[in-house]
């Protein structure tokens, strides 16, 4: 590659999105690229020419190792959606002007569905206007809902965090083992796809009975059936732990969390409660059964817990960044790097570059055949798919008792 490159991060952060930046940097450095820029706060910051020279942070191997151990977006992220081209040519032209000014030949963008749309729009514009610049997508999302790719970097680490925390919660909930169980309801991210919630199923093993029920948004949620299930579980167990997706919804499409914000559920100031699905269901169970309940939300912890990241995930996040640069070097543009599973025993995964038009704005749900017939569990199909993704660890560098992160100056 003769010119410079720039890499950006976009959308909700993950535990390993920085490993993809490390991968882009490592490949570009190997190819002898002169300047490797990082856009600060994604394409939104790039439009203001906010960039850093990644060489200032990563030119020795320690920098790259620290970046792999840093959660969230080292470069800063954004939720900027490219406007449609017609009537907004100035926005597109500005991006190409900035690229030309800094002799940037190729732009790499790590993100999920919306971010892949940015790659698509920019590469389409380049094609339509005979611009030489190239644009490559680097997959990233804890939601794991990008199509074509076997899975998305970021998912394995979120799944490892979720399964580990669920095990710890079950252990805690079991400890009182009273005559009457405590019903603990754990809310997990994923509004439209249940991949993250499914990861609660991985807690089960020789040392853990696992979740007692798992509800994904792929199936309609029936409150009566849920309540019957809870009562059945509570009658026979000394601990009940249930995982629900924040996106569970009734057959009529209403989210359960919308019920929580019903007319009567206003706070002292008259505005709707923002309380979530788990809190709503826990209140419901407490009211109907008199049992002690507890609602837990993993919130942003599940996408930021790099201290418990999956080494497989870190390596694959690095790889998709690395291979995006190699693909661009071959002249490719308007594509995203996909992870292609080649085998399960042992697990093997390669990469390829795929047309971004088939990926942008498409969401992939959990396959129906992996959900148990009763609608509240995952079967061995999911286990086989997901277990390899959480394998391995990368020990944090602990300084003064806490994991150390790499930060921008």
Q: Do 172 and 203 meet the contact criterion of CB atoms below 8 Å apart?
A: no
Among the listed residues 6, 7, 116, 163, the single contact to a copy of itself using CB under 8 A: 163
Shorter beta-carbon distance to a copy of itself: residue 240 or 279: 279
Structure tokens, 215: 């509800």
Q: How many positions of this chain bind a copy of itself (CB under 8 A)? A: 85
Instruction: Compute φ and ψ for 281, nearest 5 degrees.
Output: -65, -35
Residue 143 designated active-site: yes
Strand ranges of the sheet holding 240-245, from the earlier edge strand across to the other edge: 213-215, 240-245, 183-188, 293-297
Q: How far is the CB of 9 from a copy of itself (least distance, A)?
A: 8
Q: Among residue numbers 302 through 331, which ones bind a copy of itself (CB under 8 A)? A: 303-308, 310
Apex 211 CA angle, 181 and 367, nearest 5: 150
As beta bridge partners, residue 347 has 344
Residue range at the interface with a copy of itself (CB under 8 A); choices 116-124, 141-149, 215-223, 400-408: 400-408
Shorter beta-carbon distance to a copy of itself: residue 192 or 387: 387
Structure tokens, 342: 């080649």
Q: Among residue numbers 13 through 42, which ones bind a copy of itself (CB under 8 A)? A: 13, 41
| Total length of the chain | 409
Q: What is the dihedral of CA 311, 76, 145, 23, to 10 degrees?
A: -40
Distance from first CA to last CA of the chain, Å, rounded?
Answer: 28
Q: Do 185 and 294 meet the contact criterion of CB atoms below 8 Å apart?
A: yes
Q: Do 197 and 302 meet the contact criterion of CB atoms below 8 Å apart?
A: no
Annotated active-site residue in 143, 145, 313, 323:
143
Q: Among residue numbers 240 through 299, which ones bind a copy of itself (CB under 8 A)? A: 259-260, 262-271, 273-275, 279-280, 282-284, 286-287, 293-297, 299
The reply on whether position 68 binds a copy of itself by CB under 8 A is: no
Q: How far is the CB of 185 from a copy of itself (least distance, A)?
A: 11
Shorter beta-carbon distance to a copy of itself: residue 181 or 334: 181
Q: How far is the CB of 64 from a copy of itself (least distance, A)?
A: 16
Going from the C-alpha of 276 to that of each of 73, 158, 166, 261, the distances in angstroms are 26, 20, 18, 9
Apex 341 CA angle, 152 and 393, nearest 5: 60
Shorter beta-carbon distance to a copy of itself: residue 139 or 375: 139
Binding-residue pattern over the window 164 to 183 for a copy of itself, x denoting contact by CB under 8 A: xx-xxx-xxxxxxxx-----
Binding-residue pattern over the window 185 to 224 for a copy of itself, x denoting contact by CB under 8 A: -----------------xx-x-xx----------------
Q: Among residue numbers 86 through 145, which ones bind a copy of itself (CB under 8 A)? A: none
Q: How far is the CB of 169 from a copy of itself (least distance, A)?
A: 6
Binding-residue pattern over the window 342 to 381 for a copy of itself, x denoting contact by CB under 8 A: ----------------------------------------
Query: CB neighbours (10 Å) of residue 91?
Result: 16
Would you name the residues annotated as active-site residues? Answer: 143
């Amino acid at each position: 590659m003769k010119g410079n490159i720039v890499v950006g991060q976009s959308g909700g952060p993950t535990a390993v999105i920085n490993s993809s930046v490390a991968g882009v940097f490592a490949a570009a450095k190997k190819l002898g690229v002169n300047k490797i820029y990082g856009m600060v706060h994604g394409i939104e910051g790039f439009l203001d020419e906010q960039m850093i020279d990644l060489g200032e942070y990563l030119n020795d191997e320690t920098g790259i190792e620290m970046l792999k151990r840093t959660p969230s977006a080292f470069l800063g992220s954004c939720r900027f959606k490219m406007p449609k081209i017609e009537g907004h040519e100035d926005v597109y032209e500005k991006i190409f002007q900035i690229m030309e000014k800094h002799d940037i030949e190729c732009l790499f963008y790590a993100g999920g569905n919306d971010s892949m749309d940015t790659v698509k729009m920019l590469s389409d514009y380049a094609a339509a206007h005979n611009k030489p610049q190239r644009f490559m997508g680097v997959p990233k999302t804890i939601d794991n809902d990008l199509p074509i790719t076997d899975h998305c970097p970021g998912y394995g680490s979120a799944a490892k965090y979720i399964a580990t925390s669920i095990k710890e919660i079950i252990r805690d909930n079991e400890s009182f083992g009273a005559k009457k169980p405590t019903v603990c309801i754990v809310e997990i991210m994923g509004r439209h796809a249940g991949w993250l919630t499914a990861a609660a199923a991985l807690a089960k093993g020789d040392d853990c009975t696992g979740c007692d029920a798992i509800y994904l948004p792929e199936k309609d949620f029936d409150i009566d059936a849920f309540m019957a299930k809870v009562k059945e579980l509570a009658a026979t167990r000394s601990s009940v732990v249930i995982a629900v997706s924040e996106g569970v919804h009734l057959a009529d499409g209403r989210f359960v969390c919308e019920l929580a914000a019903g007319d009567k559920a206003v706070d002292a100031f008259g505005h709707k409660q923002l309380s979530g699905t788990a809190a709503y269901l826990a209140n419901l169970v407490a009211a109907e059964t008199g049992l002690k309940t507890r609602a837990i939300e993993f919130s942003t912890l599940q996408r930021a817990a790099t201290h418990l990241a999956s080494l497989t995930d870190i390596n694959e996040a690095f790889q998709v960044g690395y291979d995006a640069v190699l693909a661009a070097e071959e002249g490719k543009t308007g594509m995203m790097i996909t992870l292609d599973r080649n085998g399960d025993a042992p697990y093997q995964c390669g990469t390829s570059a795929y047309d971004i038009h088939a990926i942008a704005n498409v969401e992939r749900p959990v396959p129906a055949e992996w959900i148990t017939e009763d609608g509240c569990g995952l079967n061995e199909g999911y286990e086989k798919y997901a277990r390899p993704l959480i394998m391995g660890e990368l020990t944090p560098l602990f300084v003064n008792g806490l994991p150390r992160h790499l930060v921008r100056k």
